[in-house]
Amino acid sequence: MTESNAVRVRFCPSPTGNLHVGNVRTALFNWAFARHHGGTFVFRVEDTDAARDSEESYQGLIASLRWLGLDWDEGPEVGGDLGPYRQSQRMDTYAEVVEKLIAAGYAYYAYDTPEELEERREQARAEGRSSGYDGLHRDLTAEQRAEFEATGRKPVVRFRMPDEPITFDDLVRGEVTFDPEHVSDYVIMRANGQPLYTLTNPVDDAAMGITHVLRGEDLLSSTPRQIPLHRALVALGIGEGVVPQYGHLPFVMGPGNRKLSKRDPGGGLDTYRERGFLPEGLLNYLALLGWSIGGDRELFSLAEMAEAFEIERVNPNPAQFDLKKCEAINAQHIRELDVSELAGRLVPYLTDAGLLGPEPTSAELELLAQATPLVNERITVLSEAVDMLAFLFVGDATFRVDPDDAAKLLTEDGLGVVRAAHDALAGLETFDTPSIEQALRDALVEGLGLKPRHAFGPVRVAVSGRRISPPLFESIELLGKERTLTRLAAALGGGDA
């Protein structure tokens, strides 16, 4: 049993592929609410749709939450006293609950055919009435049921809605009322015995003692159906005896001011993992979609969010997703990382690009550690470091110069700059950043009379392969004298400079 005053929230996605960022925000708000109140965060998986759910997606869901750092107190891989936490393992429970609801008069068998339902709906619409279920089969006698079954009809099970308004205090939106004509009796089990979300979700919430349900605004219309079902479950002694409080989070809007979908750019979590967003950066931004930590402050940690999180401060108005803003927040979190930690987070991206082996050598890791400070102020996502640092990790035999950048800067005049740079660096006995800078400035700025932006561009392309690179002098020091001179010579045609 759960403690009567303990906060218990849940996140219960379906394992149907790439997790939507709107669902990530829902998970975040539930996690922060639980942590703020010293409560329990339950992770539950709604995997009853055999046609769409898969074990691969289930494992991906687990991995996504682990990557995000949203730890759960009960659920898959963690366990708990009120499991199992996968709906596919709870089918017997749903069948038993339906039987009890029918026996107590809270639910009933309905034998309407789809054609009959549509005909009556069309008539209701023509007469200006609600097109919801009209309750025709609410009070069938045993004889009437037998007649339908004799013709081979298989019934659905409908929940009997009370004939009165349903009012509840939404934690985000305040008092909300639904009139009975807009909330008709609804199906909780298909004719083939398959339970629907309208049944499984409240039954699991009841069984697991969920006290607060924080979910998307798109599910607001289902709440007046679920509250009476919860009351029926309490009356029948099913579950932990709790009717949850509900709070509906605002829509996350995408391009064209419409609800962000998984198919929209930036709609799915995998995109952010692949591009190299920090989980703390992404979650920081998603927290700002409908909530504020206070004042003009935008940067905060998960721990700081949990400490400050109040559901009453969630704005009910739709939140606009801005990818540029998300990138800017992530870039700030990158700047906050210790250099050694940032270097460690870059390793998988350099490995995927083939710049590091599956087990990087100590020399490679040392070079990465030295190079990381050169890019931490220049990247917004981790994957951007790959192109910036590639010149340090490729061998001279495989090093390539970007042809477009070469065409712009390694012109006849540019090659003259490269030749002068080669000669200046070849004479250095001490090959460190101050010496390199002084030698190139003396040779190119003073010696050739060039402005710095004209002087160093050709050198940058010759040694890094790109017009955009980490700071030039520091990069040359890391590359080393021999490799630097080799690349300058190669830009000049491979001969002696």
Which active-site residues does the annotation give?
Answer: 262
Q: What does 308-372 look like in DSSP terms, one character per residue?
A: H--GGG---S-EE--HHHHHHHHHHHHHHS-HHHHHHHHHHHHHHTTSS-SS--HHHHHHHHHHH
Q: Fill in the amino acid letter for 55.
A: E
Q: Is 77 left (phi over 0), alpha (psi -120 to 50) or beta?
A: left
Q: Fill in the amino acid letter for 126.
A: A
Q: Cα dist. 483→209, 362, 423, 467, 480 in Å?
A: 65, 20, 14, 18, 6
> How does strand 319-320 pair with strand 252-253?
parallel
Contact of 156 with 122, CB cutoff 8 Å: no
Distance of CA 95 to the CA centre of its chain: 34
Distance CA 493, CA 473 (A): 23
What stretch of H or E contains 216?
strand 212-216
Contact of 14 with 53, CB cutoff 8 Å: yes
CB atoms within 10 A of CB 114: 7
Query: Which residues are annotated as part of the binding site for ATP?
Result: 262
The residues facing 214 across adjacent strands are 247
Q: Cα dist. 28→47, 65, 124, 311, 377 in Å?
A: 21, 10, 42, 12, 28
Closest listed residue to residue 470, CA positions, set 420, 421, 433: 433
Query: Which residues are annotated as part of the binding site?
Result: 262
Closest listed residue to residue 10, CA positions, set 172, 159, 206, 169: 206
CB atoms within 10 A of CB 354: 12
Structure tokens at 159: 């929940």
